[in-house]
Amino acid sequence: MEIAGGFSLTLSPHFLYYLSKDLRKELITVFESALDKMAENILNLDEASLASLWEKYKTRMEHFETTKEWEKSVIIFFIINAVRVKNHIFNENMLELQKKHDKPQKPPKKRPDLKLVK
């Protein structure tokens, strides 16, 4: 969480327990807003450009270090994968919708023109 003066504060999940209900709601709203802004920025990234970075961050992630850089590499790797998975799900669903749309509609069943013959 960014605090005046530009330094950040990492909060333990247990920290929320000690806050008032109103303050907890406000803090969660701040977190949601920050995550929403991050997601918006990530959605503006090009998958092809991200794909070119995938191997680099996979390699960094596989070589564990106790550094902030290693931690960021793990996050970046999973962001790249998240975009790839999102696009895959999106494309599958668009194809399915297209198939349904392109499928010719069956004419409604009519009652046959039959006459009673005795």
CA-nearest of 72, 75, 84, 73 to 46 is 84
Cα–Cα distance, 57 to 40 (Å, whole number): 21
pLDDT of residue 48: 85
pLDDT of residue 16: 66
pLDDT of residue 49: 84
Helices (H), 17-67: 21-43, 47-62
What residues does each domain of the chain span? 16-45, 46-101
- And the tokens for 14? 């247990």
pTM (2 d.p.): 0.63
Give every residue of the chain whose pLDDT is below 70, as ranges.
1-17, 104-105
> Which residue is associated with the tokens 């509609």?
105
pLDDT of residue 63: 94
pLDDT of residue 36: 92
CA angle 88, 61, 53 (to 5 degrees): 50
| DSSP code for 8 | B
Task: Decide: 61 and 80 in contact? Cβ < 8 Å.
Answer: no
